[in-house]
Amino acid sequence: MLTDGNYLSVCAYDCPDSCGMVATCKDGLLVKLEGREDNPYTRGFICHKGRRWVRDLRGQDRLTSPLARRNGKFIQIGWDEALDMTTQAIQSAVLHHGHQSFLFYEGAGNLLMGNEIQHLLPLMLGGGTMATGSLCGAEGKIGLARSYGTVGRYQPLAALESKSILLWGRNPAENSVHFLAILQDALRQGARLGTIDVRATPTTAASDCTWIVRPGSDLMLALYLCHEAIVLLGEPQAAHQGYDAFREACLLVSAEDAQEATGLSAEALHALVSFTADQPPLSIWTGVGLQRTRWGANLIHTIDTLGFLMGNHGIPGGGVWFEQGSDELLPYDFATVPGAQTRFVPRPNLGASLLEADPSIEAAMFVRGNPASQCPDAGKVLNFLEQCPFSVCLDWHMSVTARACTLVLPTTVFLERGDDYVMSYFHDLLQKTNKAAEPPEGARDEVDIVRDIALRLGLPDRFTAEKARLVDVENDPRLTPAGPGMWRLKDAPRIQGAFHFPSLVPDVPAESGMLRLITVHVRDYINGIDPGQARARVLPPVASVSTKLARERCLIEGQKVTLHNALGSLDVRIHLDKSIAAQTIVLPQGVEGVNLLVAPGLTPDGNSCINDSWVLLEPTL
């Protein structure tokens, strides 16, 4: 049993902040969770989602026994039986249909680096089938890297040196509260904060100026702002790749074009031009919400170009940000198997790809992922699960995916596992997690579960050796100690050599007569993880529409309507919000049923374009 006392940990939620935590354990139970004072970004404060772990570790929703589906109902079974069932299903799939008939699906449910070890299972079987392509931020990183060839890594505290800060499609007041705190410090030091969004949010409420634009109009807006920058500041000095074609194209975008696309008034557009120019240095912080569109990478690249043309690149407090790059702190050969021949299926179009897969998927394993809720066209993921002979989900609570599987295995969560690490994708700290509570009887560490299955399949135990190698991350020469179990990762420059201008892309055509569906991350839970989700399942989700649209369609507050498109339909309740852009409907993401309506499109780089989704709205009969 774990000794009573305080343990240092780090929140492993898929959240940019990666808060340092102090966990208090008594009689093996977590009794208190607080922010760690010496983390310079999270500064002694954790949000209510983090604090909720004190309740959730032993809460009603915690799974504590393997559950097998028998005659349409889940019944509790023992671990031995559960692991045997899994082993037999994988063995039979591989024997009769080849290793690619085994799907190993990983989501982003927590950021513990040690979970990478689990790849060994499909890889040692020959490769298996895995998912590729991002539902999250890959497009933005690709776009940012196009300017100079790398995303780099640098200090978000640089915002404190900005005099003007522009948040573009980013909502830190809900999704990265410690960044908001940094921004508030910058405001106290005299900076001003502007936000471009498609609706009012707690972030716009905290901003000095807000521009509400139509979703999908940002590229036109960015090109127009680049046009103004060239007019205002003249041509860039040195020769830069692709400038002539870019210049020609952006000079063709007029203020009227930008107004028409965005819905901004001439005065509002003018004020935005002034905001980008009047009070340098300007830092622009682009968000994940913004780049979930077919040309997301080009969009972020074009916004970066604005930063470049305005002379903000490479000066303290200036520049364009998205997320940090992946720094490959794990050894390059960590959990790899040379020669493995993995078949990759696109995550953004997972359901249809799995239904069509040849060889077919005969056994599926889901870890830290909830694709039946979080992948676009989620109805097809559910169809796939209905027809897949064997599916197992490893999770700590009953997710939408777990409910649709044939077997559910209860896992521990990060507070119950020690000796692992989280590297933030927003700031520059690597932090170590310590075990801070005993898991409930019945829950098992997922790396151990996967290793046990591998051993039962007759595979060698590479898992234990890889686990022992994990500690190597601490010895990376780019790290400097920043406190107990905390290291600062050295900055890596992004701005170097010639700037590469973006190539030009066409607009994503709107579907005529339909409303654009925007799905957003919300304050109270991370993605599809809401242990109180039972509540959300009872109530229909709330869809926000503009008051103007409501008037045109004779809709009233609280009215039940049906949203539908070729993929599916969903009953929702209407909320009137006068801030929302025209012809747009906003739903929270992570709520069951929402992704039945989300289109499974892929960007040219194979990532998701979640926000290129359109729906029809009809009164519910």
Task: Render the burial of 408-439: b for 16+ CB within 10 Å, e for the rest.
Answer: bbbbbbbbbbeebbbbbbbbbbbbbbbbbbbb
Q: List the x/- string, 469-508, binding to ligand SF4 by CB under 6 A.
A: ----------------------------------------
Nearer to ligand SF4, 13 or 243 (CB): 13
Indicate which of ligand SF4, Mo ion, ligand MGD, none lies near residue 175 (CB less than 5 to 8 Å, by partner kind). ligand MGD
Contacts of 91 by beta carbon, 8 Å cutoff, 6+ apart: 457
Question: Which of these, 551, 570, 507, 38, lies nearest to 293 by C-alpha position?
Answer: 507
**Three-class secondary structure of residue 217 per DSSP:** coil
Q: Which of 2, 30, 46, 518 binds ligand SF4 (CB under 6 A)?
A: 46
Structure tokens at 426: 């927003």
**Three-class secondary structure of residue 617 per DSSP:** strand
Indicate which of ligand MGD, ligand SF4, Mo ion, none lies near residue 18 (CB less than 5 to 8 Å, by partner kind). ligand SF4
How many residues in the shown chain lie near ligand SF4 by CB under 6 A? 12
Minimal distance, residue 56 CB to Mo ion, in Å = 20
Minimal distance, residue 284 CB to ligand SF4, in Å = 23
Q: What is the C-alpha separation between 460 and 244, in angstroms, rounded? A: 58
How many residues in the shown chain lie near Mo ion by CB under 5 A? 1
C-alpha count within 13 angstroms, C-beta hemisphere, residue 293? 27
Q: What is the C-alpha separation between 408 and 61, in angstroms, rounded? A: 13
Minimal distance, residue 497 CB to ligand MGD, in Å = 29
User: Which residues form the interface with ligand MGD (CB under 6 A)?
Assistant: 14-16, 107-110, 135-137, 168-171, 174-176, 196-199, 201, 213, 215-216, 218, 287-290, 367-371, 374, 394-397, 399, 411, 413-414, 446, 518-523, 526-529, 589-590, 594-595, 598, 610-611
DSSP code of residue 135: S
Minimal distance, residue 171 CB to ligand MGD, in Å = 4
Q: Is 429 in the site for ligand SF4 (CB under 6 A)?
A: no
Nearer to ligand SF4, 9 or 406 (CB): 9
Q: Is 297 in the site for ligand SF4 (CB under 6 A)?
A: no
Question: Which of these, 338, 335, 352, lies nearest to 464 by C-alpha position?
Answer: 335
Cα dist. 120→92, 228, 278 in Å?
Answer: 19, 52, 54
Total residues belonging to the chain: 621
Q: Is 39 in the site for ligand SF4 (CB under 6 A)?
A: no
Q: Is 180 in the site for ligand SF4 (CB under 6 A)?
A: no
Q: Is 521 in the site for ligand SF4 (CB under 6 A)?
A: no
Which residue spans within 426-475 are E strands per DSSP?
429-433
Q: Is 182 in the site for ligand SF4 (CB under 6 A)?
A: no
Task: Render the burial of 180-196: b for 16+ CB within 10 Å, e for the rest.
Answer: bebbeebeeeebbbbbb
Q: Which residues pair with 320 in a beta bridge?
A: 284
Q: List the x/- string, 373-392, binding to ligand SF4 by CB under 6 A.
A: --------------------
Minimal distance, residue 134 CB to ligand MGD, in Å = 8
Indicate which of ligand SF4, Mo ion, ligand MGD, none lies near residue 227 (CB less than 5 to 8 Å, by partner kind). none
Cα dist. 251→218, 220, 557 in Å?
Answer: 16, 11, 43
Indicate which of Mo ion, ligand MGD, ligand SF4, none lies near residue 482 (CB less than 5 to 8 Å, by partner kind). none
Nearer to ligand SF4, 177 or 400 (CB): 177
Q: Which of 2, 8, 11, 226 binds ligand SF4 (CB under 6 A)?
A: 11
Residue number of the CB atom closest to ligand SF4: 50
Indicate which of Mo ion, ligand SF4, ligand MGD, none lies near residue 594 (CB less than 5 to 8 Å, by partner kind). ligand MGD
Q: List the x/- string, 141-180, binding to Mo ion by CB under 5 A.
A: ----------------------------------------
Q: Is 15 in the site for Mo ion (CB under 5 A)?
A: no
Minimal distance, residue 525 CB to ligand MGD, in Å = 6
Q: Which residues pair with 110 in a beta bridge?
A: none
Contacts of 384 by beta carbon, 8 Å cutoff, 6+ apart: 350, 351, 354, 355, 361, 364
Pair type for strands 363-367 and 390-395 = parallel
Q: Which long-range contacts (CB under 8 A, 24 or more apart) does 184-187 make?
A: 185/160, 186/159, 186/160, 186/162
311, 235 in Cβ contact below 8 A?
Answer: no
- Considering only residues 524 to 553 of the shown chain, the ones binding ligand SF4 according to CB under 6 A are 526
Minimal distance, residue 591 CB to Mo ion, in Å = 16
Minimal distance, residue 531 CB to ligand SF4, in Å = 13
Q: What is the C-alpha separation between 283 and 25, in angstroms, rounded? A: 42
Q: Which of 7, 8, 17, 308 binds ligand SF4 (CB under 6 A)?
A: 17
Indicate which of ligand SF4, Mo ion, ligand MGD, none lies near residue 19 (CB less than 5 to 8 Å, by partner kind). ligand SF4
Minimal distance, residue 53 CB to ligand SF4, in Å = 9
Window contacting ligand SF4 (CB under 6 A); options: 9-17, 270-278, 335-343, 491-499: 9-17
Q: Is 136 in the site for Mo ion (CB under 5 A)?
A: yes
Cα dist. 277→52, 123, 251, 280, 313 in Å?
Answer: 43, 52, 18, 7, 14
Q: Which of 7, 39, 49, 576 binds ligand SF4 (CB under 6 A)?
A: 49
Q: What is the C-alpha separation between 114 and 346, in angstroms, rounded? A: 24
Nearer to ligand MGD, 215 or 485 (CB): 215
Burial status of residue 77 (CB atoms within 10 A of its CB: 0-12, 13-18, 19 or more): middle
Contacts with ligand SF4 by CB under 6 A lie at 11, 13, 15, 17-19, 46-47, 49-50, 177, 526
Contacts with Mo ion by CB under 5 A lie at 136
